[in-house]
Amino acid sequence: MKPLNQLTGRDLAKIKMIVFDVDGVLVPRGTKIKQEGNTTTLATKIIAKKQIKQIKALHKKGYLINISSGRGLYMLQAMFREVLPFVSLTYECGSATWYQGRLYQHFNSFKYTLDLFQKLQKAVMGKKDFKGFEPKEFIVTVHCKKRMKQVEATVKKEKGLTTIWNGEAYDILVKHDQTKALGLRRAMKIFKLKKENVLAIGDNYNDQELLREAGLPISADRTRVKGKFYIPLRGQLLPADLLMQKILSLETK
Ligand SMILES: [Mg+2]
């Protein structure tokens, strides 16, 4: 892996779409969530004005922008409100893509997760390390203060499902199939792109497959994921900020 400062205009010659993971890339990691009985309080994260400006500038330069997140669509729409006319949102770890008001569903997890939610509720509600279920449509996301064996044991008994722990929550997904990689492959079809046309940046374990599908993968945390380039995780600036600055500074098109 090379550091970002070695990225050149040549590396970007074929790039048409830039795919951003959200948490830890465009906004700091960490979710404020609290659940008491049937009341869930979940803070919407805000994308800084500076990043919105950078995204607009990339669009102006001719790049397609795809957001690939484990978050739900409602949250991504709120976060990216200002750039929605030209940004596609691939949500819940590749399960579906929203683009200009149209929905493209990539995966149907219904039969896998039919009873899961009730089982998990039983296993975690009232436990001291449980924080809350984040509202989702196609995956189940359980926020916890730390890893909870109750979650892992419950999911282990379910056929075909797996847990991905990201340091603050478990995403529960259909093994192998329900991934950000699937989401990216489908998004590439929507926009008629090849692998070599895609740059993707991610920072967490659920981004590894995403980065593998991209011609130009960029790691925002090289202790967790591998890319052709990496962004040093230090200082005040977010990885996406540094990457966008770099791309916007290069003569490419
Ligand atoms: Mg992330």
29 alpha carbon to ligand 1 midpoint, in Å?
Answer: 7
241 alpha carbon to ligand 1 midpoint, in Å?
Answer: 14
Q: Give the contacts of 207 (CB within 8 A, at least 6 positions apart).
A: 21, 180, 200, 224, 225
CB-neighbour burial class of residue 168 (10 A; exposed 0-12, middle 13-18, buried 19+): middle
Query: Could you read off the pLDDT of 195-219 as tens digits, one per residue?
Result: 999 999 999 888 999 999 999 999 9
**What 8-state DSSP symbol labels residue 18?**
E
59 alpha carbon to ligand 1 midpoint, in Å?
Answer: 22
Question: 30 and 104 share a domain?
Answer: yes
Read off the pTM: 0.95
229 alpha carbon to ligand 1 midpoint, in Å?
Answer: 16
The CATH code of the domain that includes 127 is 3.30.1360
Question: 228 and 190 share a domain?
Answer: yes
Neighbouring residues of the ion ligand 1, judged by CB less than 5 Å: 21, 23-24, 203-204
Question: 26 and 146 share a domain?
Answer: no
Question: 70 and 188 share a domain?
Answer: yes
104 alpha carbon to ligand 1 midpoint, in Å?
Answer: 22
Question: 80 and 184 share a domain?
Answer: yes
- Angstrom distance (rounded) from CA 178 to CA 174: 5
Q: Is 70 exceeded by the pLDDT of residue 5?
A: yes
Query: Could you read off the pLDDT of 123-169 as tens digits, one per residue?
Result: 999 999 999 999 999 999 999 999 999 999 999 999 899 999 988 99
Q: How many domains, in total, are found in the chain? A: 2
Q: Which domain holds residue 59?
A: 2-108+177-249
The CATH code of the domain that includes 30 is 3.40.50.1000
- Phi then psi for residue 133, to 5 deg, are -90, 125
CB 160 within 8 A of CB 174: yes
60 alpha carbon to ligand 1 midpoint, in Å?
Answer: 25
- Angstrom distance (rounded) from CA 132 to CA 99: 29
Question: 18 and 91 share a domain?
Answer: yes
Q: Is 70 exceeded by the pLDDT of residue 228?
A: yes
Question: 36 and 55 share a domain?
Answer: yes
The last residue of one of the domains, among 145, 174, 203, is 174
202 alpha carbon to ligand 1 midpoint, in Å?
Answer: 6
Question: 87 and 208 share a domain?
Answer: yes
- Farthest CA pair distance, the chain: 56
3 alpha carbon to ligand 1 midpoint, in Å?
Answer: 19
203 alpha carbon to ligand 1 midpoint, in Å?
Answer: 5
- Tally of CA atoms within 13 A in the half-sphere of 213 that contains its CB: 25
- Of the candidates 156, 154, 97, the one whose C-alpha atom is nearest the C-alpha of residue 123 is 154
**Higher per-residue pLDDT: 243 or 31:** 243
204 alpha carbon to ligand 1 midpoint, in Å?
Answer: 5
Question: 115 and 169 share a domain?
Answer: yes
pLDDT bucket at 7, cuts 50 / 70 / 90: very high
39 alpha carbon to ligand 1 midpoint, in Å?
Answer: 26
- Angstrom distance (rounded) from CA 32 to CA 248: 32
Average pLDDT of the chain to the nearest whole number = 94
Question: 86 and 31 share a domain?
Answer: yes
pLDDT bucket at 253, cuts 50 / 70 / 90: low
The last residue of one of the domains, among 121, 147, 174, is 174
pLDDT for 252: 66
